[in-house]
């Protein structure tokens, strides 16, 4: 670990910071690509991941969560914007330097089997990052892989087994061991527990928590299950159609969502108590996410927003941060009083 987990001071350089990240994909209409447009998959996203903390990214499918994660670790090249990893400008780095930075950020994917090569043994899967980054070879590599497996609750006996010989939860442990191989500072968890059975999901969440505590890891945590995100994330970013519409301390946002979209999203979380689940009509958001190739004018949420007024259709609200609380939301209703909001 290059960075010891330290006490939050607010002044400390975050392990990862993205500024105004943009990714536009060209789309072609018609047989000869005439009338080309762009899909604004990610459109001006900024956030920081403090060391040893977890930032949760939530939003409906197509909101740009996964693309944001892939831009932040430069698996996808951004159209514009800035990524600062431990203070270094990731987008300006090349070659060996980039490789060195990349070894410090890893990903754990959704499908535990799909993300493991079925023809490779566990030793090869977990050992490959060590080879790529030239960390260790020979007997030292075997020892390191064994140590990694033990860290995630597997053992040296699993070294020469293949992914299909493991259950879904165990396969995800292998994916986590692989991510840990290069001693990363940040792990991007993109729906990493979503495909697991409920009874196994909790084990993996606990494993991620323990690793964070022991290794000082920072996570960017993406999940569609909002209760899972609430449990994992210290800070929350809510995305809608490629933009962050609300950002802030996770407990504060869950307790008191400011943006109308966040309010709808949180109200849609199913309750587990039959008495209240039936009585309470889960707030039903109007309509669905519009096509990303033709986003609504003004505030992109105005077509579904129960509070929309004229200004919302004409002018896009800016994400404003309240100096007092550090919370941010992009909504015209919140413009005058940074503390008030629709309720």
Partner 1 sequence: MHGSPLLEVSNLRVRFPTRHGRVEAVSDMSFTVAEGETVAIVGESGSGKSVTALSVMGLLNSGSIESGSIRFRGEDLTAAEPRRMRQIRGEEIAMVFQNPMAALDPLYTVGNQVAEAIRIHRDVSAAEARARAVELLREVGLPDPERRARSYPHELSGGQQQRVVIAIALSCNPALLIADEPTTALDVTVEAQILRLMRTLQADHGTALLFITHDMGVVAEMADRVVVMYAGKVVEQGTVEQVLREPQNPYTLALLRSIPSPDISRDTLMPAIRGSVPSLLDTPSGCRFHPRCPRVLDRCVREEPPLAALPGQRDSRCWLHLQPDGGLLPAESTDSTESTESTGSADRSARHGAGSIQSGATGVS
Q: Say if CB 178 and CB 192 are below 8 A apart.
A: no
In this complex, which beta carbon is closest to partner 1, that of residue 137 or of residue 224? 224
Q: Is residue 224 part of the contact set for partner 1 (CB under 8 A)?
A: yes
Candidates 1-9, 25-33, 128-136, 283-291 — which segment interacts with partner 1 by CB under 8 A? 283-291
Residue 205 beta carbon to partner 1: minimum distance, rounded to whole angstroms: 5
Q: Is residue 274 part of the contact set for partner 1 (CB under 8 A)?
A: yes
Q: Is residue 244 part of the contact set for partner 1 (CB under 8 A)?
A: no
- Copy the structure tokens of residue 41: 């998959």
In this complex, which beta carbon is closest to partner 1, that of residue 234 or of residue 243? 234
**# residues near partner 1 by CB under 8 A:** 62
Q: Is residue 161 part of the contact set for partner 1 (CB under 8 A)?
A: yes
Distance CA 314, CA 312 (A): 6
Residue 130 beta carbon to partner 1: minimum distance, rounded to whole angstroms: 21
Of the candidates 100, 140, 283, 314, which one interacts with partner 1 according to CB under 8 A?
Answer: 283
φ/ψ of 146, rounded to 5, equals: -60, -45
In this complex, which beta carbon is closest to partner 1, that of residue 83 or of residue 205? 205
- Window 84 to 123, contacts with partner 1 (CB under 8 A): none
Number of Cβ within 10 Å of residue 215's Cβ equals 17
Q: Is residue 11 part of the contact set for partner 1 (CB under 8 A)?
A: no
- Window 167 to 206, contacts with partner 1 (CB under 8 A): 167-170, 173, 197-203, 205-206
Of the candidates 29, 99, 157, 318, which one interacts with partner 1 according to CB under 8 A?
Answer: 157
The residues that touch partner 1, with contacts defined as CB under 8 A, are 60-61, 150, 152-158, 161, 164-170, 173, 197-203, 205-207, 209-210, 224-228, 230-232, 234, 250, 254, 264-265, 268-275, 277-278, 281-285, 287-289
């Amino acid at each position: 670990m290059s960075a010891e987990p330290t006490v939050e001071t607010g002044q400390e350089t975050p392990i990862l910071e993205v500024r105004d990240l943009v990714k536009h994909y060209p789309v072609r209409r018609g047989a000869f690509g005439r009338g080309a447009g762009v899909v604004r998959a990610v459109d001006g996203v900024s956030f920081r991941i403090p060391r040893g903390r977890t930032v949760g990214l939530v939003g409906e499918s197509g909101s740009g969560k996964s693309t944001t994660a892939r831009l932040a670790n430069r698996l996808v090249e951004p159209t514009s914007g800035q990524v600062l990893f431990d203070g270094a400008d990731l987008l300006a780095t090349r070659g060996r330097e980039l490789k060195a930075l990349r070894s410090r950020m890893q990903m754990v994917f959704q499908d535990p089997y799909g993300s493991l090569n079925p023809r490779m043994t566990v030793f090869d899967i977990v050992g490959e990052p060590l080879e790529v980054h030239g960390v260790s070879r020979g007997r030292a590599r075997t020892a390191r892989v064994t140590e990694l497996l033990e860290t995630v609750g597997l053992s040296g006996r699993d070294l020469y087994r293949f992914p299909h010989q493991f259950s879904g939860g165990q396969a995800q442990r292998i994916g986590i061991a692989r991510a840990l191989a290069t001693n990363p500072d940040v792990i991007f968890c993109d729906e990493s527990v979503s495909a697991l059975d409920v009874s196994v999901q909790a084990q993996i969440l606990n494993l991620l928590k323990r690793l964070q505590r022991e290794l000082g890891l920072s996570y960017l945590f993406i999940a569609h299950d909002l209760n899972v995100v609430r449990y994992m994330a210290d800070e929350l970013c809510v995305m809608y159609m490629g933009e962050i519409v609300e950002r802030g301390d996770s407990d504060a946002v869950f307790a008191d969502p400011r943006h109308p979209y966040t309010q709808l999203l949180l109200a849609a979380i199913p309750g587990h108590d039959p008495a209240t689940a039936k009585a309470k009509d889960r707030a039903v958001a109007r309509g669905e996410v519009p096509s990303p190739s033709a986003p609504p004018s003004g505030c992109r949420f105005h077509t579904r927003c129960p509070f929309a007024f004229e200004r919302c259709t004409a002018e896009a609200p800016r994400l404003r941060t309240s100096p007092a609380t550090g919370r941010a939301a992009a909504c015209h209703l919140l413009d005058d009083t940074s503390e008030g909001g629709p309720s």
